[in-house]
Copies of this chain bind each other. A is one copy, B any other.
Amino acid sequence: MNEMIENLLSHRSIRKFKSKRLNQQQIETIVCSAQHASTSSYMMAYSIIGVTDDSKKERLAEITGQSYVKHNGHFLIFCADLNRVTIKATNDEYENMLDNLENSEHFLVSAIDAALAAQNAAIAAESMGLGICYIGSIRNNIAAVDELFHLPKHVIPLFGMAIGYPAHHPESKPRLPIDAVYFENGYQDHEDALDRFDEKIGNYYAKRSENNRKDTWTDQMKRRFQKTIRMDVTNHVKNKGFNKK
């Protein structure tokens, strides 16, 4: 196993950071690494907002309910962005584009582009001795994030990423068995693999050093999807010109 793969396998989310801020060169290296990920049809359909303004970080910490959104070395917001491809369009060209951008295909492409870029950023940061945590909870109030960063039409804030010097060393969280995730030549029934995983994760939750409890993965997921969350995401995405037909 090479060093690159060892690094990928040793990933864990970091939620406590030292107060030291990233310098400009570190930030540029991370963003440049993000930019070199693959991109669908050369669209590069994402933007990255770096947040250094303390009042904006404070507001994001309120929206997400997560203190490490405020206390970290740097904070990034990854956005799906198909505004950029319209900037040089004439009025007639723009009208046509508006119509095509409403197909779900295009929001999907830009979300995927943004996520590929983000994962390169994460790996680059980790290779520099930094830790990261993805922050999906910026979607707790997606309209407020949109407003806070003045996002135009066809730009959707997808998730944040807290980056910084790690101040704790959490355990790596077990992953599903490979036969619950990887299938050859067709989708396969994998209830047995989930049963095995529930047993394993039950032991993990019972014994881990922080927040130990009695739980399984499938119970956790069933609980999660019993309650509605973020019901405003659908309309926000539509109002910004995507997923309308």
- Chain A positions near chain B (C-beta within 8 angstroms): 1-5, 7-11, 13, 28-29, 31-33, 35-38, 40-44, 46-53, 56, 84-89, 93, 96-97, 99-101, 103-105, 108-109, 111-112, 115-116, 118-120, 122-124, 127-128, 132-134, 136, 139, 148-152, 155, 158-159, 172-173, 175-176, 178, 180-187, 190-191, 194, 217-222, 224-231, 233-234, 237, 243, 245
Contact = CB atoms under 8 A, between A and B. Distances in A.
Contact of A181 (B11, B48, B136, B226): B48
Contact of A96 (B151, B178, B226): B226
Quick one: copies of this chain in the complex? 2
13 contacts: A4-B127, A8-B123, A8-B124, A44-B176, A47-B182, A51-B184, A88-B222, A89-B222, A96-B225, A99-B228, A103-B231, A103-B234, A111-B115
